[in-house]
């Protein structure tokens, strides 16, 4: 079994820019993915910007993602980017992994509206694992952690800008691998105590938070 950990970055579409052919509020502007083998090792990476056909990169999205209009101006369309992504996928059985269900929903809706063929849709709509849900089950909470908070709570220290598709996919892959490989997974004790209000005032330093952490750096 191979695992493809996926992250999409998206722009918003105002009602004024919506088309009769595309009545959806978001459009993909970057696809980032990493391939994990059966032992949860990262073996391949994929990233491409995507040129939006209806949406616009507003200042909020540019500041959030670091993606500029220049990045997407000459980028492939969604269909072209997805065809490239599908060629990158390994042969055989694949499970997709993403943080929350939003990316699967986006792929399903955007692919349908932009006319991806049935074969591509079947490939993309195969088995999916919600890593956010898996994380919650592992620590027995219903609270939906952000990816950034979950990484800190799990003693995973990474480099790279959050909301970059490839960086987020890589970081999600590190966390997914840890959740699957560690049968006794638990949150960082200092973090957990602070979250539950058990840490006294001034009782935690940056040194405490990072002591004993296994540092893993995105490349």
Q: Which domain holds residue 190?
A: 2-199+208-215
Instruction: Give mean pLDDT in consecutive 10-residue pieces for the chain, a chain of 219 residues.
Output: 97 88 94 97 98 95 97 97 97 95 97 95 95 95 93 90 96 97 88 68 51 50
Q: What is the pLDDT at residue 191?
A: 80
Q: Are 142 and 132 in contact (CB under 8 A)?
A: no
Secondary structure class of 6 (helix, strand, coil): strand
Q: What is the pLDDT at residue 209?
A: 54
Residue 157 phi, psi (nearest 5): -105, 125
Q: What is the pLDDT at residue 205?
A: 53
Q: What is the pLDDT at residue 210?
A: 54
Q: What is the pLDDT at residue 201?
A: 46
Q: What is the pLDDT at residue 63?
A: 97
Residue 74 belongs to a domain with what CATH number?
3.30.420.10
Q: What is the pLDDT at residue 198?
A: 62
Provide the number of structural domains found in the chain. Answer: 1
137's tokens:
């089950």
Q: What is the pLDDT at residue 105?
A: 97
Q: What is the pLDDT at residue 20?
A: 86
Q: What is the pLDDT at residue 214?
A: 54
Please give the C-alpha separations between residue 22 and each of 53, 120, 126, 149, in angstroms, as whole numbers: 10, 19, 24, 34
């Amino acid at each position: 079994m191979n695992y493809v950990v996926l992250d999409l970055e998206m722009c918003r579409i105002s009602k004024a820019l919506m088309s009769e052919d595309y009545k959806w509020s978001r459009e993909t502007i970057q696809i980032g993915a990493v391939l994990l083998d059966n032992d949860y090792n990262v073996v391949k990476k994929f990233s491409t910007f995507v040129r939006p056909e209806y949406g616009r990169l507003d200042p909020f999205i540019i500041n959030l993602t670091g993606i500029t209009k220049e990045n997407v101006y000459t980028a492939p369309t969604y269909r072209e980017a997805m065809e490239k992504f599908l060629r990158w996928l390994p042969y055989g059985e694949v499970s997709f992994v993403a943080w929350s269900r939003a990316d699967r929903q986006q792929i399903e809706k955007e692919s349908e509206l932009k006319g991806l063929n049935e074969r591509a849709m079947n490939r993309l709509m195969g088995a999916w694992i919600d890593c956010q849900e898996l994380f919650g089950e592992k620590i027995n909470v219903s609270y939906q952690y952000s990816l950034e908070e979950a990484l800190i709570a799990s003693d995973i220290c990474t480099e790279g800008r959050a909301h970059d598709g490839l960086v987020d996919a890589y970081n999600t892959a590190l966390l997914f691998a840890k959740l699957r490989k560690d049968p006794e997974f638990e949150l960082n004790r200092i973090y957990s105590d602070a979250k539950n209000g058990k840490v006294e005032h001034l009782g935690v330093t940056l040194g405490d938070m990072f002591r004993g952490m296994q540092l893993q750096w995105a490349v």
